[in-house]
Amino acid sequence: MNRLRKVIAAVALAAFSLICAAEGVQLGSLKLDLPEGFSVRSAKPPFELAGPTGEKVLVTVMRSKADTSGEPNPDEQAKMVSFGRGFLRKQAERAGNLVVPSANETLSDGSILVYIGSETSGLFSSGYFLQYMLVSPSGRLAFITVEGKGNIGDDHARYLAVVGKATWLP
């Protein structure tokens, strides 16, 4: 019986990965259209994805206490952006050398995208730590972290394009 559960779980995860590749992936109330090469490692929060070059992507989607109707709430959005910007900066400084300065963009749906990135180094390896925060007009929040190896600039451009096209679902 236990083996059957494992087989069913593996088949479900494989099917979920195929659906995600074809139409994008729904992570809570956030939908990301992922390019080819991504796979879903965990379909439960915090969601874990694997990027095309082996990078680890974690996505956490939250709804603020004030977001009860889904209607735009500029005060709540500003509060969440302010909180998140400080949080991302602390995490980036702790991770390593800051190389992608903190910046934000307003997206076409009114969401605010904040990002920052660090190069990391250890005794035997080096890599990067990219962070993206997306705040909906109503104050819903998604944190997306990417840990990988390679060129931080190239990978940041790739992830910025994906996160910048994310859509919020009701």
Give the residues across from 93 on adjacent strands: none
pLDDT tens figures, 127-148: 999 999 999 998 899 999 999 9
Q: Which of 42, 44, 46, 26 is nearest to 34 (CA)?
A: 26
Calpha distance 61→168 (Å, rounded): 10
State residue 66's pLDDT score. 60
Q: Is the pLDDT of residue 27 over 70?
A: yes
Counting residues of the chain whose pLDDT is more than 70, the rounded percentage is 82
Q: Which of 132, 142, 130, 147 is nearest to 55 (CA)?
A: 147
State residue 9's pLDDT score. 41
Calpha distance 141→113 (Å, rounded): 10
Is the Cβ–Cβ distance between 31 and 24 less than 8 Å? Answer: yes
Catalogue all structural domains in the chain, each as residue range(s) with its CATH number: 2-168 (3.40.1000.10)
3-state secondary structure of 138: coil
Is the Cβ–Cβ distance between 101 and 116 less than 8 Å? Answer: yes
pLDDT tens figures, 41-96: 998 999 999 998 899 999 999 876 665 667 888 988 999 999 899 999 999 999 99
Q: Is the pLDDT of residue 124 over 70?
A: yes
